[in-house]
Amino acid sequence: MCLNEHFKEMKIYGLEKYEIREIELKTIHSESVFDIKILTNYFQDLDILRPLNPKERRLFIRQKSRENLKILLKDYPREKYTLIGTKIKPRGILGQLTGKQILKLQNNSAVDQIIIEKAGELKELKPQKEEQYFSVQGLFAIKVEGFDYTNSIRFTEERIILVKALDSDTAIQKANIEFKKYSDVEYLNSDFRLTRWDFIEIMDVYEVDETEIDPNGTEIFSVTRNRKLK
């Protein structure tokens, strides 16, 4: 990777919490001292790692991590810092740097990202929470006129709907309204009996963690379990 490519990929996170633009690190905040976290690159080139066995991969990745730490510390302008991880498997450092010192580290090939933990005496802005999508799974059981369902196996339906809300509790409230509407609908089945779907319970809520839906594909529900496959 050339220096210019790395410069474009390395990111400084957390400035927005203090309404600081990156360009201001070399102007009005050039001498301001920031508490920072620096994470080094994590080696994950599968073309190189694939031929190795798991033990060899672990040792190889740890060696690369130690090499990256040395490259970082070569350019790190202060003696005092706190190691993230261990000497055997380091992930980066915690420290303090001025704005202009942070910008200089953008040219360090070992740096993956720099995170602003604190900006001197500046107060951190409280971000406005944005509504995001939640998928809610509801359980329904069919109820047909003239049948007694006491202690009997019932034909059920699981519905998953997508709602936009600030948190899971609000998502459940919205889903309850929609599920009740669905359970209130009656229709005639093929035997001309009144039929509807009883709402039983909400089975699960899944935080999609997206504010917009990508038409090319957005995961809206995921369940993991152990099972025997044929």
CB-CB neighbours of 141 under 10 Å: 15
- Is residue 103 within 8 A of residue 65, CB to CB? The reply is no
Kind plus residue range of the DSSP H or E element containing 49: helix 46-49
- Is residue 135 within 8 A of residue 27, CB to CB? The reply is no
Per residue of the chain (230 residues), give pLDDT as tens.
343 444 445 589 999 999 999 999 999 999 999 999 999 999 999 999 999 999 999 999 999 999 999 999 999 999 999 999 999 999 999 999 999 999 999 889 999 999 999 999 999 988 788 899 999 999 999 999 999 888 888 999 999 999 999 999 999 999 999 999 999 999 999 999 999 999 999 999 999 988 888 888 989 888 888 888 88
- Is residue 90 within 8 A of residue 69, CB to CB? The reply is yes
In 3D space, the residue among 139, 203, 132, 200 whose CA is nearest the CA of residue 168 turns out to be 132
- The encoded tokens of residue 216 equal 């090319």
- The encoded tokens of residue 154 equal 């019932």
In 3D space, the residue among 96, 105, 112 whose CA is nearest the CA of residue 31 turns out to be 96
